[in-house]
Structure 1
Amino acid sequence: MSKQLPGHVDNPVMEHRDSIDIDAPPSKVWGMVTALDRYGEWSSENTGGYWRKGPDGEPGTGQVGDMFVGINRRDGEEWKAPVEIIRRVDNEDFAFVTGGLEYNIVLWRYQLAPKGDGTTLTETWTLRKHSPRMVEHGQGEVDQRAHNARTSIRATLEAMKAAAEA
Structure 2
Amino acid sequence: MSTTRDSQNPLAGLDLTPFAFTRRCWVDTTPDSVYRLISDVSLIETWSPSAGGVSYAPGDGPWVGAWFSGRNRRDGREWVTRSEVVQADPGAAFAFVVGGADHGIVRWGWHFREQGRGSIVQQSWRLLRADAVLGDTREDVQALHDHMADSAESTLLALAEWIAGHHTR
* TM-score normalized with structure 2 length: 0.83
- Which residue is equivalent to 1:90? 90
- Which residue is equivalent to 1:47? 52
Could you tell me whether the CA contact under 8 Å between 1:38 and 1:48 is conserved in 2?
no
Shift of 1:34: 0.7
- Partner amino acid, structure 2, of 1:158: L
| Residues 13-162 of structure 1: pairs in structure 2 closer than 5 A | 13=17, 14-53=19-58, 58=59, 60-134=60-134, 137-162=136-161
- Partner amino acid, structure 2, of 1:149: M
Could you tell me whether the CA contact under 8 Å between 1:48 and 1:71 is conserved in 2?
yes
Q: Work out which of the two has the higher radius of gyration on C-alpha atoms and give 1 or 2.
A: 2
How many aligned residue pairs are there?
A: 150
Identity %: 24
Distance 2:90 2:73 in 1: 29
Shift of 1:12: 4.4
* TM-score normalized with structure 1 length: 0.85
SS for the counterpart of 1:91 is coil
Runs of 4+ in 1 over 6 A off after TM superposition: none
Could you tell me whether the CA contact under 8 Å between 1:83 and 1:100 is conserved in 2?
yes
- Which residue is equivalent to 2:4? none
Q: After the TM superposition, which of the residue ranges 110-119 and 24-33 deviates more from structure 2?
A: 24-33
Identify unmatched segments of 5+ residues in structure 2: 1-14
Q: Deviations over 1:120-142 (max 9, x none)?
A: 000000111112313x5222320
Distance 2:102 2:31 in 1: 31
Could you tell me whether the CA contact under 8 Å between 1:104 and 1:128 is conserved in 2?
yes
SS for the counterpart of 1:62 is coil
- Partner amino acid, structure 2, of 1:147: D
